Chains A and B, each alone.
Chain A
Amino acid sequence: MQLRILLFAGIRELADADSVTIDVDDNANAADVLSAIERVLPQAAPLIHVSRLAIDGQYVAADHPVSPTADEFALIPPVSGG
Chain B
Amino acid sequence: MIQIELVDSPIHLADWESSLHDVDTGAHAWFAGVTRRTTADGSGGVQITQTLHYEAHRPMAIDQLQQLAQQARRQHSLTGVVIVHRLGEVSLGQASVLVGCSSPHRIDVFAALPWIMDRLKADVPIWKRETFADDSTQWVHPDAQ
Binding site for B on A (CB under 8 A): 6, 8-10, 13, 46-47, 50, 54, 57-59, 74, 76-82
Number of interface residues of B (CB under 8 A): 29
**0/1 per residue, B131-145, Cβ < 8 Å to A?**
000000001111110
Q: Does B10 contact A (CB under 8 A)?
A: no
**0/1 per residue, B110-145, Cβ < 8 Å to A?**
000000010011111111110000000001111110
By the criterion CB–CB under 8 Å, are B143 and A80 in contact? no
Determine the distance from Cα of A80 to Cα of B122 in the docked complex, in whole angstroms.
8
Chain B residues with CB below 8 A from A46, complex form:
144
Name 10 A/B residue pairs within 8 A (Cβ), A-sorted. A9-B139, A10-B141, A74-B57, A76-B57, A78-B144, A79-B127, A81-B97, A81-B126, A81-B127, A82-B85
Other than the given A59-B123, A82-B96, 17 more pairs (CB < 8 A) read A8-B127, A9-B129, A9-B141, A10-B127, A10-B139, A54-B60, A54-B125, A57-B60, A78-B144, A79-B125, A79-B142, A80-B139, A81-B54, A81-B121, A81-B125, A82-B85, A82-B117
